[in-house]
Structure 1
């Protein structure tokens, strides 16, 4: 039987990599907020100018930006969940 666990001290630079990943998650969340604001503006402009295509694109952008924020925020929990599932196989 082989028993291998993640080793957080096995390679140099692991702590710096964690800092970089955290910074990238922060940038992803900030960009999701920016996309949400831009999509809301596009939706409002499309609705105000009687352009259903533009309003629809704004709605889709709003949903995509919310989905991106969910994925950025839940990425650690998702990886931990699937790591646990993989350990049970």
Structure 2
């Protein structure tokens, strides 16, 4: 018969490996780049949507609308990524 430990308590260790602070800086920079690219995609998609609507081109207008929605979703995901990870981490700790 195998002995199974009743409780294992492991928490994240921010001092365990060298370079964790630099990795946090890199992740923050990538999040900033993602938000900037989302704004750029929003502007380009809005221009495409307007051009498609004014030129009576429903395909182009539809592509612009989809681009606006996708860029807004990407901005929401980039902005809320830390909150989402913390939420799911706390949910995972309760399982």
Stretches of 4+ moved more than 2 A in 1? none
Write 1 or 2 for the structure with the bigger share of helix. 1
Match of 1:31 among 14, 22, 37: 37
Larger radius of gyration: 2
TM-score relative to the length of structure 2: 0.93
Alignment correspondent of 2:89: 83
Structure-2 separation of matches of 1:83 and 1:2: 16
The gaps in structure 1 that reach 5 residues or longer are: none
Structure-2 separation of matches of 1:67 and 1:3: 36
TM-score relative to the length of structure 1: 0.99
The gaps in structure 2 that reach 5 residues or longer are: 1-6
What is the aligned length? 89
